[in-house]
Amino acid sequence: MNVVIIDYGAGNTKSVQFALSRLGVEAQLSSDVERIKMADKVIFPGVGHAATAMSKLVETGIDHIIPSLHMPVLGICLGMQLMCEYSHEGDTQGLGIFKGKVQAFDSSLKVPQIGWNAISKLRSPLFKEVEEASYIYMVHSYYAPLSEQTIGVCEYGIPYSAALAHKNFYGTQFHPEKSSSVGAQILKNFLAL
């Protein structure tokens, strides 16, 4: 299977690559548009600031490519947030694949949210054989609100989208590559889509 992890200088790509390798898949890191288009599966990671990451996507022209892809695409953490319409972090225009505006957690909470939280209301093949209330690892200060595209819910002050899906596009706010055996199952499910 030809899996490409989009490498645009704003993601913990190594960890994603290692997690796939533990599942027996040797993914390539690439920022090459043609390579991305040829992949069977595409993973779009991201950490850091939304505006910085988005400008890197624009520089490489990858911002135009992602919404046009037809194979299963998985955005992780900031990757998922950039696939939304808009992010309040740095007043950033997103790729518009998922509905909704990414917003900051309430200032009464400890931010960033760091640690293991439970996911529920799972409804997607992405969560095959994943039990309700399984723990996944989260690190973020902004969140995507609930919408009809929500396929998994987490709670931190309020309920929000732990995962989103639309057509061939999937996004997880959590890090499956860092979420122990639950995360490995989710990545396995993604590879099987």
Closer Cβ to other proteins, 171 or 183, answer by number? 183
Catalytic site includes residue 175:
yes
Give the pair of three-digit tokens for residue 113. 């949210």
Per DSSP, the three-state class of 85 is: strand
- Binding other proteins by CB under 8 A: which of 94, 183, 186, 189? 183
- In the numeric block, the tokens 């990414």 are attached to 102
- Give, in order, the Cα–Cα distances in Å from 21 to each of 26, 73, 114, 128, 193: 5, 18, 25, 20, 18
Catalytic site includes residue 77:
yes
Exposure on the CB side of residue 89, measured as CA atoms within 13 A: 23
Contact yes or no for 173/186 (Cβ under 8 A): no
Residue 167 binding other proteins, by CB under 8 A:
no
Binding mask 81-120 for other proteins (x = CB under 8 A): --------------------------x-xxxxxxxxxx--
Instruction: Give, in degrees to the nearest 5, the angle at Cα 17 between 183 and 26.
Output: 110
Min separation Cβ 70 and other proteins, Å: 30
Min separation Cβ 101 and other proteins, Å: 20
Catalytic site includes residue 154:
no
Distance CA 5, CA 166 (A): 20
Min separation Cβ 11 and other proteins, Å: 10
- Binding other proteins by CB under 8 A: which of 135, 153, 159, 193? 135
DSSP readout, 124-161?
A: SGGGTT--TTEEEEEEESEEPPP-TTEEEEEEESEEEE
CB atoms within 10 A of CB 5: 23
Min separation Cβ 86 and other proteins, Å: 19
Binding mask 27-66 for other proteins (x = CB under 8 A): --------------------xxx-----------------
Closer Cβ to other proteins, 61 or 157, answer by number? 157
- Binding other proteins by CB under 8 A: which of 44, 98, 127, 156? 156
Residues lying near other proteins in the complex (CB under 8 A) are found at 12, 14-15, 18-19, 21-22, 47-49, 107, 109-118, 135, 137-141, 155-156, 175, 177-181, 183-184
